[in-house]
Chains A and B, each alone.
Chain A
C-alpha cells in the first residue's frame, strides 16, 4: 500500500496538513495505477461527463417511516410520525424530511424496491446480485464495472472512489469490491481508516518531492502486487504515477478546507464517529460535499456509507428516536447536495441514488424497533437528467409488500448504467473464465422507463 502522509505544513499548492492522500490497497481493493492512467487518452471526450453518487444507508432504512407512511394501519404498525405534503401535489413523505418535501419535484421515490436477501450486505446495493451463488472472484460492484468500462475521465483522478470507512460489520462495510474484474478496478478508498481524515502511510509529503523515495515505494508496491498477481503492467505507468501523486488534484478534491464554510454548514458537516454504537457508517454530511467535489474533479462513481439505519429498538433507541436523529441530517445533506449540483450546472450529469439493503418490518417490535424486512424497501433517485417529481410503485396498507410496479435492485442499477451511457442489453464484462457476463440480468431487469 502506498500512502501519502500530511506533515505539519501547508503544501505549496495550498493543501492543508489535514489533507492526506492515500493511494490505498493496491492488492486489496484499492485503485491501481494502470486503471488511473489507462483512459487518460479518453479524457478529451467532447461529451459532458456523467457520474453517479451512491449513498448507502447502512443497515436498512424504514420505508414506512420515511417515504411511505401508513396512516391507515393499526397503531402497532403505523409508527409515531405524520406525513407532510410535498412540493408535488399528492405526494407525501415524513414530517422529519421537510427540505426533501420542499424539493420533491427534484426527486423520484421508489416505494416498491424488491429483491433483497434480507442480510446486511452493502453488496446488495453495489451489485444488485444475491450474495450466493457468485461466479469465481465474485460479482463486481457497479463502480468497478464503470471503472472497467469507462476508465479514468480526468487525469489524476480515479474513476471510482468509496468514502466508506472500514466497519466492524463486514456486510455493510463493503466499499464495493471489484470481484472477478480484479483489484485494478476496485475503489480508491481514502477513508478506509475511518477517522475522518485521509490518511497514513509510509511516504510523507516531504518525501513527495523526493522522486527517488517515491520510486522506492513504487518498486516495493510493485513487488507486493506482483507477488499476488493482482496487477500487471505497473512499470509502464510508473512515471505517470508520480504525476498523480504529486499533481494534488485528487488531494485537492478531498480537501474541504477549500470550500466556503457556509456551504459546509449548509450540508451539515457531521461527525466522523460511527453513527451507531461503535459500528456503522458515520453520519458525516461533509462526505456529501466531498462526493460533489470528486465528481467535479472527474470521478465517475462515488459511493459512501451514511449512518446506521439498523434500528431494532431498545436499548439502542427506538426506531423513532433514531429516525428523529438521522432523518434531519439526511434531509439537510441530500438537499444541499442537490442544490449545490444544480447551482453548478451539474445536476443533469450526476445521478444520485439513496438506498439501503432492505426495508423494515411493518409491525413495531416490543423494543420499539423494526426488524429486517426484505419483502420491500425504498430508494430515492435524483439528478442525472432523470424525470423526477414522482413516486414509483406502491405497497399495501401495511407497508408489507409491493402492490404496484415492483422495482428490483438491478432495475435501479440498470438505470444508473443507462445514465452513464452503458447499454446493459449489449455490454458485458468477462469473468475469470473468460465468459462474458451481462451487468444485470437484462432478461428480467431494465432501466426504469419512468425516469429515463
Chain B
C-alpha cells in the first residue's frame, strides 16, 4: 500500500528520481534541463542544478552521497559535488541523444544508452569510458547494471533485450520478451534481470540461463520504469498508464498500486531502507510515497 507523503514539481516533465544513500535527500531530473535537490522529509527544495542544455534523463547519487551523476539529452554526463551542487566534471557523450542511464549498486560504474545504438560504460571515479557495447540496431531505450558491476542489460527500439558480460563484452539476446523493452532492473544478487515491456508485462529472467521464469501483468501500456528494493523483496514499476505498482520480487504477486500520476511514470526509486518510494512523471510531478504493510 502506498500512502502519499509529498508532491514535488518541476516546470516540465520529470524523467528520473533518486534517493541519497542516507535517505535524507532526493534528486530529480527534468525535461526542463535542470536537476533539483529536495529534503526528503520536508519536501522542501534545496537546490536547482543548472548546466545541462537539454532535458536530464538520469540521476544517481554516489555511494558515499558526496556526488551526484546526471545524464542528459544534451549528450553529456555531469558529475556534481554535494552539498554545493557545483558541476565538477562534464563527460562528452556519444554525439547523439542519451536516452537512458543506470549505475551499479557498488557505485563503480555508470551506463548510458544512446540514440547511436550503443551502450557505454563509464568509471564513476574518473568518468573515463571503459567500454562501448555495440549490437543493437536501433536506439537504446533501457539499460541496467548488476550490483557488482559484472553484467549490463539493454533494451533497444529494435525489440532486442540483451545481457552483456562486462568482463568480455560479449552479449546474449533474450528471446520472447514483451515487445520493445522499456525498463530494466537487476535484483541485487545479480542472478535475475527484470524487464518492463511494451504492452504492460513485467518479466523475470535468469541471468545464468537467459530464460524467462516469471511474468506479471497489470499495467495498461508501456512499463516505463522499474526499481527493486535494496533487500530484493519488492519490485516497483511505473507505467504509461500513470500508475505506480508494487510486486513481490520473488513471486511476481501484486503488492499494491496507486493511480498516482496523470501521465507516464518515467522513474521510480526506493529509499535505501525500503520504507519509501518516489515516482517521477511526465505530469511534471514527483510523488514520495510511504510504503505500508499489507
A271 CA to B73 CA, complexed, in Å: 22
Contacts of A367 in B (CB 8 A): 139, 157
Q: How far is the CB of A273 from chain B (nearest CB, A)?
A: 4
Assuming the contacts A277-B33, A325-B283, asked whether A315 and B221 have C-beta atoms less than 8 A apart, the reply is no
B12 to A315, Cβ gap below 8 A?
no
* Residue from the list A271, A277, A318, A324 in contact with B31, Cβ < 8 A: A277
A321 CA to B263 CA, complexed, in Å: 6
B33 to A324, Cβ gap below 8 A?
no
Assuming the contacts A278-B54, A325-B284, A366-B157, asked whether A317 and B31 have C-beta atoms less than 8 A apart, the reply is yes
Contacts of A315 in B (CB 8 A): 55, 57, 73, 97-99, 115
* Nearest-neighbor residue (CB-CB) of B282 within chain A: A321
* Nearest-neighbor residue (CB-CB) of A282 within chain B: B11
* A90-115 Cβ-contact flags toward B at 8 Å (1 or 0): 00000000000000000000000000
B31 to A316, Cβ gap below 8 A?
yes
Is residue A80 within 8 Å, beta carbon to beta carbon, of the partner chain? yes
Assuming the contacts A321-B263, A325-B13, asked whether A277 and B283 have C-beta atoms less than 8 A apart, the reply is no
A316 to B55, Cβ gap below 8 A?
yes
* Nearest-neighbor residue (CB-CB) of B52 within chain A: A278
A-B contacts counted at CB < 8 A amount to 62
Is residue A223 within 8 Å, beta carbon to beta carbon, of the partner chain? no
User: 8 Å CB contacts to A: which residues of B76-106?
Assistant: 97-99
Q: How far is the CB of B119 from chain A (nearest CB, A)?
A: 15
Is residue A276 within 8 Å, beta carbon to beta carbon, of the partner chain? yes
A271 to B55, Cβ gap below 8 A?
no
* B249-274 Cβ-contact flags toward A at 8 Å (1 or 0): 00000000000001110000000000
A276 CA to B73 CA, complexed, in Å: 13
B53 to A278, Cβ gap below 8 A?
yes
A80 CA to B240 CA, complexed, in Å: 11
Contacts of A328 in B (CB 8 A): 262
A316 to B282, Cβ gap below 8 A?
no
A325 to B139, Cβ gap below 8 A?
no
* A294-338 Cβ-contact flags toward B at 8 Å (1 or 0): 000000000000000000001111101110110010000000000
Contacts of A276 in B (CB 8 A): 12, 31
A320 CA to B222 CA, complexed, in Å: 12
Contacts of B232 in A (CB 8 A): none
* Nearest-neighbor residue (CB-CB) of B53 within chain A: A278
Q: How far is the CB of A366 from chain B (nearest CB, A)?
A: 6
Q: How far is the CB of B197 from chain A (nearest CB, A)?
A: 15
Contacts of B141 in A (CB 8 A): 314
Is residue A15 within 8 Å, beta carbon to beta carbon, of the partner chain? no
User: 8 Å CB contacts to A: which residues of B52-84?
Assistant: 53-55, 57, 73
Is residue B116 within 8 Å, beta carbon to beta carbon, of the partner chain? no
Is residue A275 within 8 Å, beta carbon to beta carbon, of the partner chain? yes
B33 to A278, Cβ gap below 8 A?
yes
A-B contact pairs, 9 of them (CB 8 A): A271-B11, A278-B54, A315-B55, A317-B13, A317-B282, A321-B13, A324-B264, A325-B282, A328-B262
Given contacts A277-B55, A314-B141, 16 further A-B contacts (CB under 8 A): A274-B32, A278-B32, A278-B33, A315-B73, A315-B115, A317-B264, A317-B282, A318-B264, A321-B240, A324-B262, A324-B263, A324-B264, A324-B283, A325-B13, A366-B139, A367-B139
In order of increasing CB-CB distance, the 7 nearest A-B pairs are: A273-B11, A271-B11, A321-B282, A324-B263, A315-B99, A315-B97, A315-B73
